[in-house]
Structures are given as structure tokens and as C-alpha cells.
Amino acid sequence: MTAITDDFLSARHSVFHFETDGGNVKEIPVAIGVLKNENIAAVTAEVNDEKKEIDIITTPSGRYFYQVNACGPIKFLNKNGEVMDRCGI
């Protein structure tokens, strides 16, 4: 698990393990967090071996993101595409 909390964001990147009915152990990486800085315009990660922009969900209580199968690093970009922060390797 990798976690970051600062004035910009609070993010967590974890790998969940579960056992299938056949007894095999599967791993599912998940990225989740809240964006505190309005200058963060995009969140990216590798999803299924491809770089993907993760959807930002805006609610009355804040701006959030989550992505299943997200591998690091998770990057937080401004409107110019410059990395403001990152989580993971």
C-alpha cells in the first residue's frame, strides 16, 4: 500500500488479495482518493498496461477518484499536463 496526504490531495494505492472458488489467489490494484486542490485537472495511472486518465467525480462534498486495476505511479496533473504530485513508484 502507498498513501499520501497533503494540502493537495489524499490518495491511497492498495493491492487487494482474494481467493477464488478454485483456490487461486487474485490481486486487484485499486487507487482511490480525494482531490483538495482545484488546480488538479487530471489523474493518470497505468490501467491494464495502458496509460489512462482516471475519471474525477465531483460531488457537493468534494472531488474524488477511484480506479480498479490501476498501477503506479498515479500522477496528478494541472491543466497544462504538468505533474503536480504523484503517488507510488
Domains in the chain: boundaries: 10-80
CA distance 42 to 55: 8
* Higher pLDDT among residues 79 and 20, named by residue: 79
**What confidence category does residue 71 fall into, taking pLDDT thresholds of 50, 70 and 90?**
confident
In angstroms, what CA-CA distances link 65 with 21, 58, 84, 88? 30, 9, 16, 16
pLDDT range class, residue 67, cuts 50, 70, 90: very high
**CB–CB of 87/31 below 8 Å?**
yes
- Give the mean model confidence (pLDDT) for residues 63-72: 90
Please determine, for residue 89, whether its predicted confidence score (pLDDT) is greater than 70: no
Burial of 69 per CB tally in 10 Å (0-12, 13-18, 19+): middle
Q: How confident is the model at residue 72 (pLDDT cuts 50, 70, 90)?
A: confident
